[in-house]
Structure 1
Amino acid sequence: MPVIMGTAGHIDHGKTTLIKALTGIDCDRLKEEKKRGITIELGFAFLDLPGGARLGVIDVPGHERFVKNMVAGASGVDFVLLAVAADEGVMPQTREHLEICTLLGIRRGLVALTKADAVDADWLEMVEEDVRGSLAGSFLEDAPVLPVSAHTGAGLDALRAAIAELAARTTAARPADLFRLPVDRVFTMRGHGTVVTGTLVSGRIAEGEEVVLFPGGARTRARGLQSHGQPVTEAPAGRRTAVNLAGLEVEDVARGQVLARPGTLFPQTLWDVELTALASAGRDLKHRKEIHLHHGTREVLAKVLLLDREALRPGETALCRLLLPEPMPGVYGDRVVLRSFSPLRTIAGGRIIGPHGRKLRRGDQGALARLRALADDDQQAVLAAQLALAGPEGVSLAELRTMCALEARALERLMQQMCSQGAAYLVDKDERTHVAGEVMEALMAGALERVAAFHRAEPMKQGILRGELASSWGRGLSERLAHFVVERLVRRGELVAEAETLRLPGHSVSLAADALRLRTALEDAYRQGGQTPPNLKDVLEPLGVTARDAAPVLRLLQESGELVKVKEDMYFHAPALEALRARVVAFLEEKGEMGAADFKTVSGLSRKYLIPLLEQFDKERLTVRVGDMRVLRRKEK
């Protein structure tokens, strides 16, 4: 996989001149840069290595006023070439650039002792010793320090060889299938339109592909590609790449945006980060402090939210949150750099561990434990923590890719393994949404407790209706998730489903002695009443029971199918009502229609029962009223 080398170092220490001597390419392209003799913007070149490989080179500004441009370029770098002028030695921006590279996770590099022709041998030896002392404890502690002169060419061959050897040993850890190109330049080319350039930090892009700019969501197409000045049909990660965007004007694009495929990035306003304050920061980083945040090629004003302390002291590392001014796309492991307002200098940096920050209470120890797990090297532990933090909302596979930076196949294998272990559940096959095992267990326990509470409150009901369970326990859950939980409990035998009613396996309607006597009395009264049932009041008064007290028993008799409520306080014994239905059907099949008088003749009942019963048969969809007559309702096919 191609790699990128970036420069670093103090202003006027010869970075740009050295790159021109190595590559033949002048990275200072702006008129103001040529006039002032300093690098202001990022410059780009390439170096052909032995064996035919081509190394991308990013030249960064050294002036303190342009550190933000330096960070934008260094964000895509795999190893660094630190330039230190032999006639000046280590200077303030040398140190700050080195700190920025450390915070960006750069772990390899080498040192060019530039302008070696400007000093004598004793001075050169002394400066080299001073440089090595300054690099002690840094990632460049054991890096080669090579004296060079861009003017005389001395040392350039040795430097090229060292660069080639380091490039061969450098492996960039980039997901091969998550295309991201942070934009660092936007311009117009005559005959082509809008072009953006950047370091392709992961994935690859092919000519003609549909792409999206984040944030903003503007859709476009890669009309053409160039890499290292040559047209290409496809560009892999680690390449400096120019993309000709179809249908967009220069004003539609800005440095800091990220080019990606549709549906692969998910901008958020809250990131969880593992943050380290530089030992040289000089002062504490306080809770809710506003800072300059650098991520990729973008700089914004953000707030630092400390989760377990009031201040982050120099040299300390802690889990923090970044509150962003607008949704920004991040990926697990992305590096961030923080700079203070006054004095304007680098104070901290670290990596994103939660690009989808969730709401949590400050000091919540459970949430803090999960956030700490996100900083783990165990991929399954990271996934489990991400799922747990997502809660019942769950996470799609596409989102999980940005939350763990795994390639799609590796992620799918790991998720299948977690699902087989009960550590995760696939709750929505269409959206490929997963919920943590611990979240699912909590949801199932909550559903069972709600059903148990219903049984305690309504002991004479067979169970709770599905809709009632969903509107109480399931409030706030997606319909699919609530259904998934219930069906899983049914499959496990922890819930029993009877049509639309749900109950616990051990639940059966049990009546106390008084209720049992009342049930027997009601059954007997309505059985004896037959087709001319008694008034409910007449049944209850001799028993000394109120209608309110009798309501649960009456409801139970209806649920069990022994009584049918025709209207308020009018109940029929089910077999008696069934006999009346049979007479009505027989009459209508012979005569075709029936009036109230016909029903009276057929049933022998008084008007007190006739009309309520006719309306009951209509309600049951046995008959339908046509004027003053009833006819059989046709059965729907």
Structure 2
Amino acid sequence: MDAAYYTIGMAGHIDHGKTTLTKALTNVDTDRLKEEKERNISIEAGYAPLHTNDGTHISIIDVPGHERFIRQMIAGVAGIDLVVLVVAADEGVMPQTREHLEILQFLGVKRCIVAVTKIGRVDGELQELVGMDIKEALSESIFADAEMHFVDSISGKGVEQLREAIFTALKDVEFRDRFGSFRLPIDQVFTVQGQGTIVRGTIYEGIVRKGTQLTVLPSGKSVRARNIQVHHKDIEEARAGQRTAVNLTGIDRAEMNRGDVLVASDHFLVTKTIDVAVRLVEGIRYPVKQRTPVKLHVGTSEVMGKIVFFDRNEVQESGEEILCQIRLDNEIVVRRGDKFIIRRPTPAETIGGGWVIDPKGEKYRFGESTVAMLQKKMEGTPEDLVVHALEEHILLNRTQLIQLTSLDGAEVDEVLRSAGVSDRIIATDSEKYTLVSMVNKASALLLSRLEEIHQQYPMRAGVNKAELRQNLITYFSKSFVEFVIETLIKQGKLRQDGQFITAAEFLPHLPPRWENRLQEIISHLRQDGLAVKKWEEYFTGAPVPEDMAAELKNYLLQSEQAYKLTEEMIVHRSSIEHAVHLLKEQTGVTFDLKEAKEIWKVSRKYMIPLLELLDQWRLTEREDNKRRWQ
């Protein structure tokens, strides 16, 4: 049985005893900064191990409670499995208590235990009143049924019971996905003399092993995990749910920041536009207008951006989920389902939170149709997500599907397998995937366009493959069009002859409307034998379109009904065949120019290209002033 790894958070108003309670539970003082000691408040989140007897690994995060340190608080609770909401018995529920409650719910924390601290300062009647105050504050939240424990961190009263309650509550928590692609949002970056750059964070998913090659996003910098620690102990690997420090090689401290993400695969996208589902807090002071500047907190990152609505221009207060978009000033790393908080930068306040529907949003039109599209995307099954990604991008490989859907590799593989069986998704020869419906659509467009070209230019041997591809490049990528063409050839719907593509049943032919007149021109060419005129002269006075001369010439040459003598002259096949027959019949093994001229009875301007044509066909070979039959 694998060991379980959990992270719990201490949250609540400033000076309500979070740090003291953490020390009582773990015997670790999480206020480590000089400023924290001097001011007796937590500025940065502190971390401590909570030891158990059954091998469960628990990290406690003591998050700052002061309003000015909300940023650190949000970064600290990102990724926790259970929260201990700390309320001082002598003060009760305070403003930061309520704000922390809102943030915890937006971040998807589902389990809460209330710890009423400093009970030694109040009598039993006041404890009861504080308990009622807390229950009322929680009544409209998802923590309405949270257990409540009264403790005194100094004397230790109630601390053991709280510890046992934490252990019990965590037994019902599904621990994090160690099978996913490794992801660690970084909340601390520092250096240690002789060791180099070290980062800390809570592993969201996957496993990291000592020596593993990793990537820092969004910069894309490649690094290696030289050493891994959990609560100051060296370990070989760390996994989802663990509070972890990773010593990195290949990067300087100055190249990394809080909010960067450490990953072990190319399954993660860097993005500046995210499609989201947002809920606003109750009682915000000012309405949220279209393109209101907001500060997005997701994972451990804090980025400025603008909120973009598609079905409204302003919202004051709403209990409904609003489907919209956040366009950011800087790149972040998120996946579908990640929770976030949005705050107004000035006046500073939490205005809402939600979750990421699509980590790679596009620019959409304002209107209900966009909201309907987002709704469909939000409610989609894994197969719906894969299909939607393929509808938008046409041709994707497995890694791109993982990136765009935020599904893990196993889920994508299952969708590809099941959808492949149902003939909904098809694999291409380039290890990419596309929709059968998209192949059918492209095939219909290609065949329709080819039919148009055949009708417009019936004398052509076909369409150059590059030209045909160019006709569809507006709608589809080059590689996708190549795949569609190859598929249609295999299906017998297209035929390829060298560089030319034709519909399977198509054969070059004279256009019915001009057939009789063009046949007359061909007859004149045949009648002229070897002493042909310049090609354009055959069309002098002929009532046919101007472009028909070039089309007919190419048709005759490609179908080998005629052969090219010079750039300006062609000769009919029957004339050439007759001329070769005469020459062969009336000469010996070799012959010279004079003999040929007497037999063919044509001038030098025809003789030279005719004899070069025979050389080209390897019927003859030139030897000084003679030619030898082959």
TM-score, structure 1 as length reference: 0.90
| Contact residue 13 and residue 114 of structure 1 kept, 8 A | yes
Q: Which AA in structure 2 matches 1:126? A: L
In 2, the alpha carbon distance for the partners of 1:193 and 1:537 equals 81
In 2, the alpha carbon distance for the partners of 1:601 and 1:13 equals 119
CA deviation vs aligned residue, 1:328-375 (integer Å, no higher than 9, x gap):
22111111110002221111111112112234434382x544432321
In 2, the alpha carbon distance for the partners of 1:545 and 1:51 equals 95
| Deviation of the 1:210 alpha carbon | 0.8
Is residue 2:608 matched to residue 1:607?
Answer: no
1:56 to 55, 59, 77: 59
Q: Which AA in structure 2 matches 1:40? A: I
- Higher alpha-carbon deviation: 130-139 or 22-31: 130-139
| Contact residue 175 and residue 407 of structure 1 kept, 8 A | no
- Alignment-derived partner of residue 319 in structure 1: 323
In 2, the alpha carbon distance for the partners of 1:511 and 1:45 equals 87
Is residue 2:199 matched to residue 1:196?
Answer: yes
Q: Which AA in structure 2 matches 1:413? A: E
- Alignment-derived partner of residue 446 in structure 2: 447
In 2, the alpha carbon distance for the partners of 1:231 and 1:583 equals 96
In 2, the alpha carbon distance for the partners of 1:401 and 1:272 equals 17
| Alpha carbons of structure 1 residues 463 and 364: separation in structure 2 relative to 1, 3 Å | farther
| Contact residue 428 and residue 481 of structure 1 kept, 8 A | no
| Contact residue 427 and residue 480 of structure 1 kept, 8 A | no
| Deviation of the 1:142 alpha carbon | 0.8
| Deviation of the 1:21 alpha carbon | 0.3
Is residue 2:355 matched to residue 1:351?
Answer: yes
Q: Which AA in structure 2 matches 1:328? A: I
CA deviation vs aligned residue, 1:550-582 (integer Å, no higher than 9, x gap):
554444333332122433552211243356678
Q: Secondary structure at the match of 2:219?
A: coil
- Alignment-derived partner of residue 228 in structure 1: 231
1:130 to 126, 130, 133: 133
- Higher alpha-carbon deviation: 218-227 or 245-254: 245-254
In 2, the alpha carbon distance for the partners of 1:312 and 1:590 equals 98
In 2, the alpha carbon distance for the partners of 1:288 and 1:307 equals 11
| Alpha carbons of structure 1 residues 329 and 616: separation in structure 2 relative to 1, 3 Å | farther
- Higher alpha-carbon deviation: 204-213 or 574-583: 574-583
In 2, the alpha carbon distance for the partners of 1:355 and 1:624 equals 70
- Alignment-derived partner of residue 557 in structure 1: 556
Listed as ranges, the matches of 1:251-290 within 5 Å are: 251-290=254-293
| Alpha carbons of structure 1 residues 585 and 469: separation in structure 2 relative to 1, 3 Å | farther
Listed as ranges, the matches of 1:320-335 within 5 Å are: 320-335=324-339
Listed as ranges, the matches of 1:329-478 within 5 Å are: 329-363=333-367, 365=369, 368-376=371-379, 378-389=381-392, 391-392=393-394, 394-427=395-428, 429=430, 432-475=431-474, 477-478=476-477
| Contact residue 228 and residue 245 of structure 2 kept, 8 A | yes
- Alignment-derived partner of residue 13 in structure 1: 16
Q: Which AA in structure 2 matches 1:177? A: G
In 1, the alpha carbon distance for the partners of 2:581 and 2:255 equals 77
In 1, the alpha carbon distance for the partners of 2:107 and 2:534 equals 85
1:295 to 294, 298, 321: 298
Is residue 2:124 matched to residue 1:121?
Answer: yes
| Alpha carbons of structure 1 residues 470 and 544: separation in structure 2 relative to 1, 3 Å | closer
| Contact residue 89 and residue 127 of structure 1 kept, 8 A | yes
Q: Secondary structure at the match of 1:435?
A: strand
Is residue 2:239 matched to residue 1:242?
Answer: no
In 1, the alpha carbon distance for the partners of 2:212 and 2:52 equals 30
1:308 to 298, 311, 318: 311
| Contact residue 458 and residue 511 of structure 2 kept, 8 A | no
| Contact residue 301 and residue 332 of structure 2 kept, 8 A | no
In 2, the alpha carbon distance for the partners of 1:611 and 1:147 equals 112
Q: Secondary structure at the match of 1:224?
A: strand
In 1, the alpha carbon distance for the partners of 2:481 and 2:428 equals 10
| Deviation of the 1:112 alpha carbon | 0.7
| Deviation of the 1:267 alpha carbon | 0.9
| Alpha carbons of structure 1 residues 611 and 257: separation in structure 2 relative to 1, 3 Å | same
- Higher alpha-carbon deviation: 146-155 or 375-384: 375-384
2:94 to 91, 94, 105: 91
- Percent identical among aligned pairs is 33
In 1, the alpha carbon distance for the partners of 2:44 and 2:588 equals 94
In 1, the alpha carbon distance for the partners of 2:587 and 2:220 equals 67
- Higher alpha-carbon deviation: 274-283 or 90-99: 274-283
| Alpha carbons of structure 1 residues 619 and 362: separation in structure 2 relative to 1, 3 Å | farther
Q: Secondary structure at the match of 1:613?
A: helix
2:152 to 141, 149, 154: 149
Residues matched between the structures, number:
626
Q: Which AA in structure 2 matches 1:211? A: L
| Alpha carbons of structure 1 residues 276 and 174: separation in structure 2 relative to 1, 3 Å | farther
In 2, the alpha carbon distance for the partners of 1:609 and 1:47 equals 101
CA deviation vs aligned residue, 1:109-168 (integer Å, no higher than 9, x gap):
111111122111111111111111111121211110111110121111111111001111
CA deviation vs aligned residue, 1:408-437 (integer Å, no higher than 9, x gap):
2332121132233343333463xx433344
In 2, the alpha carbon distance for the partners of 1:517 and 1:182 equals 77
| Contact residue 106 and residue 341 of structure 2 kept, 8 A | yes
Q: Secondary structure at the match of 1:381?
A: helix
Unaligned runs of at least 5 residues, structure 1: none
Unaligned runs of at least 5 residues, structure 2: none
| Alpha carbons of structure 1 residues 537 and 2: separation in structure 2 relative to 1, 3 Å | closer
TM-score, structure 2 as length reference: 0.90
| Alpha carbons of structure 1 residues 556 and 60: separation in structure 2 relative to 1, 3 Å | same
- Alignment-derived partner of residue 487 in structure 2: 488
| Deviation of the 1:523 alpha carbon | 3.7
In 2, the alpha carbon distance for the partners of 1:526 and 1:533 equals 7
Q: Secondary structure at the match of 1:375?
A: helix
| Contact residue 82 and residue 111 of structure 2 kept, 8 A | yes
Q: Which AA in structure 2 matches 1:95? A: R
2:40 to 21, 37, 40: 37
| Contact residue 277 and residue 285 of structure 1 kept, 8 A | no
| Deviation of the 1:406 alpha carbon | 3.0
| Contact residue 272 and residue 320 of structure 1 kept, 8 A | yes
| Contact residue 215 and residue 329 of structure 1 kept, 8 A | yes
Listed as ranges, the matches of 1:578-589 within 5 Å are: 578=577
- Alignment-derived partner of residue 570 in structure 2: 571
In 1, the alpha carbon distance for the partners of 2:7 and 2:585 equals 91
In 1, the alpha carbon distance for the partners of 2:584 and 2:118 equals 110
Q: Which AA in structure 2 matches 1:11? A: I
| Contact residue 340 and residue 346 of structure 1 kept, 8 A | yes
| Contact residue 113 and residue 148 of structure 1 kept, 8 A | yes
- Higher alpha-carbon deviation: 113-122 or 418-427: 418-427
In 1, the alpha carbon distance for the partners of 2:474 and 2:244 equals 49
- Alignment-derived partner of residue 82 in structure 1: 85
| Deviation of the 1:468 alpha carbon | 1.1
- Alignment-derived partner of residue 209 in structure 2: 206
CA RMSD of aligned residues (A): 3.2
- Higher alpha-carbon deviation: 124-133 or 549-558: 549-558
In 1, the alpha carbon distance for the partners of 2:176 and 2:334 equals 16
| Deviation of the 1:251 alpha carbon | 1.7
Q: Which AA in structure 2 matches 1:388? A: E
Q: Secondary structure at the match of 1:61?
A: coil
